[in-house]
Amino acid sequence: MARQSMREAIVDAAVAQFHAKGYNAAGVKDITDAAGVPKGSFYNHFDSKESLALVALDRYGAGLRTHELAEPGTPPLARLRAHFEFLREETADADFTRGCMFGNFGAEIGDHSETIRAGVRTSLGLWASLIAGALAEAQRAGDLRADLDTERTARFVLNAWEGTLIAARSGRSGEAFEDFFDTVFGTMLTPPPGTS
């Protein structure tokens, strides 16, 4: 097995540290200590903590398995539900102590760093576009109302998810997830009238 590069070790550690502690509380030394590399080596790979945060956002996004939203073989609404069920389980497995890093960064540092704000906006936009694609596919299959604005609905679902994570974390409970799934999949994303 190939040895992980120092840069990759730093990125992996950054994702874990940023997700657990937030942007401001995760210092460069925390990240390099977690990666098991000298602090001085950080600047051989990254210009700043901010530039590392952008790479960490991309890596975190890849871990959300959003690509599965576009994979054929499963009905699109089932894929969408499975996606959010996977994320719910990840949150529960972390004892409701971590939200979405995109949302966390947006709330914590979005007003203080245009670079981070733009990175969060781009990440959320890509995620929403994949959700919208699944919704449009469901419309074409006749599983969703044709008059539903898929892009606006995708953004709403994603915003609702981010709020659900805040409620789950603050309550240290999965109750908010029940509301999300019942409302999104039981009310909003239902077949057109007259279909079974």
Cβ(49)–Cβ(24) below 8 Å: no
pLDDT digits (tens, 9 = 90+) for 93-119: 999 998 999 999 999 987 899 999 999
Task: Tell me: do 97 and 128 sit in the same domain.
Answer: yes
Query: Domain holding 120: CATH number?
Result: 1.10.357.10
Q: Which of 97, 157, 105 is nearest to 127 (CA)?
A: 157
What is the C-alpha to C-alpha distance for residues 150 and 130, in angstroms, rounded to an integer?
10
Q: 42: domain range?
A: 6-56
Q: Is residue 147 part of a domain?
A: yes
For tokens 């994603």, what's the residue?
158
Q: Is residue 38 part of a domain?
A: yes
Task: Tell me: do 86 and 140 sit in the same domain.
Answer: yes
Q: Is residue 143 part of a domain?
A: yes
Task: Tell me: do 41 and 109 sit in the same domain.
Answer: no
Q: What is the pLDDT of residue 194?
A: 74
Structure tokens at 99: 């939200």
Task: Tell me: do 21 and 78 sit in the same domain.
Answer: no
Q: Is residue 15 part of a domain?
A: yes
Task: Tell me: do 173 and 148 sit in the same domain.
Answer: yes
Q: Is residue 194 part of a domain?
A: no
Query: Domain holding 52: CATH number?
Result: 1.10.10.60
Task: Tell me: do 18 and 105 sit in the same domain.
Answer: no
Task: Tell me: do 107 and 183 sit in the same domain.
Answer: yes
Task: Tell me: do 19 and 51 sit in the same domain.
Answer: yes
DSSP letters along the chain, please? -PPPPHHHHHHHHHHHHHHHH-TTTS-HHHHHHHHTS-GGGHHHH-S-HHHHHHHHHHHHHHHTTGGGGG-TTS-HHHHHHHHHHHHHHHHHHTTT----HHHHHHHHHTTT-HHHHHHHHHHHHHHHHHHHHHHHHHHHTTSS-TTS-HHHHHHHHHHHHHHHHHHHHHHTSSHHHHHHHHHIIIIIS-PPTT--
Task: Tell me: do 18 and 86 sit in the same domain.
Answer: no
Task: Tell me: do 105 and 31 sit in the same domain.
Answer: no
Q: Answer whether 0.85 is exceeded by the pTM.
A: yes
Q: What is the pLDDT of residue 1?
A: 42
Q: Is residue 1 part of a domain?
A: no
Q: Is residue 63 part of a domain?
A: no
Task: Tell me: do 12 and 109 sit in the same domain.
Answer: no
For tokens 């419309």, what's the residue?
139
Q: What is the pLDDT of residue 109?
A: 87
- Give me the residues of the chain with pLDDT under 50, please: 1-2
Sequence-separated (6 or more) residues with CB below 8 Å from residue 181: 81, 84, 85
Q: What is the pLDDT of residue 191?
A: 87
What is the C-alpha to C-alpha distance for residues 83 and 13, in angstroms, rounded to an integer?
25
Q: Is residue 79 part of a domain?
A: yes
Task: Tell me: do 36 and 98 sit in the same domain.
Answer: no
Q: What is the pLDDT of residue 159?
A: 97
**Number of domains comprising the chain:** 2
